[in-house]
Amino acid sequence: MTSHIVGYPRIGPKRELKFALESFWEGKSSAEELKQVAADLRFSIWKQMAEVGIKYIPSNTFSYYDHVLDTTAMLGAVPPRYGWNGGEIGFDVYFSMARGNASVPAMEMTKWFDTNYHYIVPELGPDVKFSYASHKAVEEYKEAKALGLDTVPVLIGPLSYLLLSKPAKGVDKSFSLLSLVEKIVPIYKEVVAELKAAGATWIQFDEPSLVLDLEALQLQTFTNAYSELESSFSGVNILIETYFADVPIQTYKALTSLKNVAGFGFDLVRGTRTLNFLKSGFPSDKYLFAGVVDGRNIWANDLAASLCILQVLEGIVGKDKVVVSTSCSLLHTAVDLVNETKLDKEIKSWLAFAAQKVVEVNALARALVGQKDQAFFASNATSHVSRRSSPRVRNENVQRAVVALKDSDHRRATSVSARLAAQQKKLNLPILPTTTIGSFPQTIGLRKVRREYKAKKITEYDYVNAIKEEISKVVKLQEELGIDVLVHGEPERNDMVEYFGEQLSGFAFTVNGWVQSYGSRCVKPPIIYGDVSRPRAMTVFWSSTAQSMTRRPMKGMLTGPVTILNWSFVRNDQNRHETCYQIALAIRDEVEDLERAGINIIQIDEAALREGLPLRKSEQPFYLEWAVQSFRITNCGVKNTTQIHTHMCYSNFNDIINAIINMDADVITIENSRSDEKLLSVFHEGVKYEAGIGPGVYDIHSPRIPSTEELADRINKMLSVLDNRVLWINPDCGLKTRKYSEVEPALRNMVAAAKLIRTQLASSN
C-alpha cells in the first residue's frame, strides 16, 4: 500500500503562520518565536499524514513566504541591492527580497502558473555568483527524522526554476537564462549529497514547467540537467513531479527516458490525456505517482471512479508500481473541513479540504491492495448522489438566460474614442487624472465592526452608521490629498470576491477555509455549488452614499465575473464558461442599477483574467473568447457617458494584450511598478491602445514609500510610450493591506508627481 502527498498548506488551520509573520514584521515577537510557530505547524502536518497512513510524506514544502524564494535563497541568487555578503541567508535578507525595505524595493511578484498563488520572481544574469546559501531542505528533513518520520524532501527542479526567472535589471533581454543551468546544477548536487548523508531515501523534484509547450532548447536543457545530476542520484530514489495540466507527448518521452530516476508524478485530474500516453508505454522498472485526488478544488473525490482508473494503471505499470497521490500540492485548497461548524450540512457532505484529501488518498491506496473501507466508499457514493440530485444546484431561469446569450457579441454600440470624448465632456477631468484602485486600509476597528455585526453583537443601524463614518473619512482624505476620481474605500468588504458571493445565489461560505495567496496574505474563496443569480442590489446603497458626500466623481466598485470565477472553488459538474456567463449576468444587473443611481464611473475588476489562462497554447483562444465576452456582458448596455474601468493585478499581461484591448473597457488600471515596467514594453513594440490606461506607479505590497521624484520619473517613462490624454495615475492595486501611515504619504507623493508633470507638460506647449 503506497500513498503520497505532493505538498500541503503551510498557513495552519486557523492562519497561525499569517499571525506569527505579521507579529514578527511589526516587531512584536522574536525570530525564535516565529520559528517555533513554524516548527509546530510542520510537526502537526507530518504527524497527521503519518497517522492517516501516508507512506511518502513531503518535507521542505513549508515556507515563510514562498517556495520559489526559498529556492533563490538555496542557490544564493540574491540581487546585489539587498547587500548580502555571503553565508547562510537569514530573515533580514529573505524578507527584504520578499517585501522590500525602507531603502530598496521588493523583487517582482507574479502568479504561480494558472493559480491565485503568487511567487517571487528570481532575478538572474551572467554575473550571478550562485552558492549553496540556505540549508532549509536538509534542516527540515533532519527535523522530521528526529521526530521519527522519514519524509520526502521537495525541491523545485532546475528547469522550472530557470523558466520562472527573469533577466535582472541591466541584463540584456536576449540573455538566455537556460545557459545558467550548468551553474546551478552543482548546487543541486550539493543539496542531494547532504540529503543522502542525512538518510533521505526519496527526493522529489517538482518540474511543473514540463506541462508547458516547451521549445526544443528548453526540453534539451531539462534532459541535460538531469543527465548531469544522474551520478548524484545513485543511492537515493528520485521522483520527478509534474502538475496542473497534461504533459505533452515529446516531453513525456523525454521525461520517462531519464536514467537513475525512480518515479514520475502526473496530474490525472487536469491532465486526463496523460492517461493515453501511459497506456501507450511506461518504463517497467519505474514507479507511477498517480495524481487522482484533486489538489486544486474542494469537492470530494469520486472514489469509485478513481479506483477504476488506478486499477487500469496497475494493469499497465504493474501491481506494485502505482503510488496513489494528489494531483498537485494541497497548498491551493483549504486546510480542514472539521473547522467548518457553520457550513450547511448537505453542502459540507460534498466537500473535502486538504486534511480530508489526505484520507481519500490513503483510502484509495488501501482499496488498491484489497483493503477497501466499504463504509467509507459507501458514504462517498451517497454524497455524490446527493449532489447530483439536489434541487438547490440547478435554476432553470438562469440556464435559459445563459442560452439566450449566444446571439450577440455584447459590444457597446460606439467606439472607445467616441465614448471617452463624451465622458470627458461630462466628467471634466484634468490630464493625468489620479485615482486609487478601490480599497483603503482595513483598520482593527473596522474589522471589529464587521465581526460584531456578523455575530449580531451590534444592530444594523449601528453597523451602517459605522461604515458611513469610515466612508466619510476616506472621502475627506482623498479630497484633502487632491485625488481626482474617488473611491469609497470598501469598508463594508473583507474580501472582494467573498463580499459579492455572499449576496449571490449558488454560493456557500466557510469560516476557516483560508488559502495562502502570498506571504501572510490569505484569501477565503467562496464555493460555487449551484447556478448563480442576483436576488437584490449589492453595492448601490454604499456607492450612492459615498457619491452624496462629494462633488468629485465616485467610482462604483464591482468584481468582474472572470475574477469571481477564478478566485472561487468552482463547481466541477458543468463547464467553467457556463458558470462564468451566469455570474456575468448577475453583475450586469448590478451595473445597470448603479448607472440608474447616478454613478458615472463603474469599475469592474478583472484582476484574475490572466490567471485563468490555460497553460497549453491550444486551449488559450477559447478561454480568452469566453472570458472577454463575460466581461463585455456586464456593461454592454450602459450609456456612452458612463465610464467603465477595469483593474488587473500581478501577472504577465504582455501575451494577452490583444484580449485586454478586446475587453473594450474605457479605462484599465494594471500592475506595472514591481515588474520593472515590463508592461510598457508592449507599447514600445507598437501596440496601439486607445482607451485610458493606468499602469501602477508604485507597489502597494511593500511598506516602502516612494518619493515624488521617483514617481515623476515613472510617469515620464509611461509618457514616452503613452499619450498624456489617456494616461491615468494610480497605485498598482488596492490599499487594504497597508497602514494609513504608509498610504497617506505615498498617495500625497503620487498626486504631487502628477501635478508636477502636468505643469511641465503645460509649460512645454
Question: Which residues are annotated as catalytic?
Answer: 701
Strand partners of residue 435? 485
Tell me how far apart the alpha carbons of residues 692 and 4 are, in angstroms, rounded to a whole number: 50
Tell me how far apart the alpha carbons of residues 390 and 386 are, in angstroms, rounded to a whole number: 6
What single-letter amino acid sits at 204? Q
State the Cα angle at 149 between 145 and 154, rounded to 5°. 80
Please give the backbone phi and psi of residue 326, each rounded to the nearest 5 degrees, phi first: -80, 160
Whole-number Cα distances in Å, 555 to 49, 385, 395, 471 = 48, 45, 32, 13
Whole-number Cα distances in Å, 667 to 603, 690, 718, 726 = 9, 9, 15, 8
Strand partners of residue 155? 205
Tell me how far apart the alpha carbons of residues 528 and 505 are, in angstroms, rounded to a whole number: 9
What single-letter amino acid sits at 274? T
CB 652 within 8 A of CB 110: yes
> Does the annotation flag 99 for ligand binding?
no
Whole-number Cα distances in Å, 716 to 103, 251, 622, 683 = 22, 45, 37, 14
Alpha helices, DSSP H, located in 349-505 = 354-368, 374-389, 396-403, 416-427, 444-454, 460-481, 496-501
> Does the annotation flag 649 for ligand binding?
yes
Max CA-CA distance within the chain? 83
> Does the annotation flag 438 for ligand binding?
yes
> Does the annotation flag 522 for ligand binding?
yes
Strand partners of residue 237? 202
> Does the annotation flag 308 for ligand binding?
no
> Does the annotation flag 190 for ligand binding?
no
Side-chain-side CA neighbours of 439 within 13 Å: the count stands at: 25
Q: Give Cα 99 to chain centroid, integer Å.
A: 17
Q: Give Cα 249 to chain centroid, integer Å.
A: 28
> Does the annotation flag 567 for ligand binding?
yes
Nine-digit cell string for 552: 468629485
> Which residues lie closer than 8 Å to 126 by C-beta, 6 or more apart?
171, 175, 179, 180
CB 167 within 8 A of CB 124: yes
Three state DSSP letters for 483-517: CCEECCECCCCCCHHHHHHCCCEEEECCCCCCEEE
Dihedral, CA of residue 132, residue 138, residue 139 and residue 144, to nearest 10:
170
Three state DSSP letters for 716-747: HHHHCCCCCCCECECCCCCCCCCCHHHHHHHH
CB 102 within 8 A of CB 86: no
Dihedral, CA of residue 618, residue 606, residue 415 and residue 693, to nearest 10:
-110
Alpha helices, DSSP H, located in 202-248 = 216-229
> Does the annotation flag 299 for ligand binding?
no
> Does the annotation flag 439 for ligand binding?
yes
Whole-number Cα distances in Å, 709 to 70, 107, 170, 469, 720 = 34, 21, 21, 34, 17
**Count of residues making up the chain:** 765
Strand partners of residue 205? 155, 240
Q: Are strands 521-523 and 515-518 parallel, antiparallel or unpaired?
A: antiparallel
> Which residues lie closer than 8 Å to 368 by C-beta, 6 or more apart?
1, 307, 310, 311, 314, 322, 324
Tell me how far apart the alpha carbons of residues 519 and 117 are, in angstroms, rounded to a whole number: 10
> Does the annotation flag 490 for ligand binding?
yes
> Which residues lie closer than 8 Å to 239 by C-beta, 6 or more apart?
56, 152, 202, 203, 204, 205, 261, 262, 263, 264, 265, 287, 289
Burial class (CB within 10 angstroms; exposed 0-12, middle 13-18, buried 19+) of 285: exposed
Write out the binding residues for Zn(2+).
Answer: 647, 649, 671, 733
Write out the binding residues.
Answer: 18, 116, 437-439, 490, 521-522, 567, 605, 647, 649, 671, 733
Write out the binding residues for 5-methyltetrahydropteroyltri-L-glutamate.
Answer: 18, 116, 521-522, 567
Write out the binding residues for L-methionine.
Answer: 437-439, 490, 605
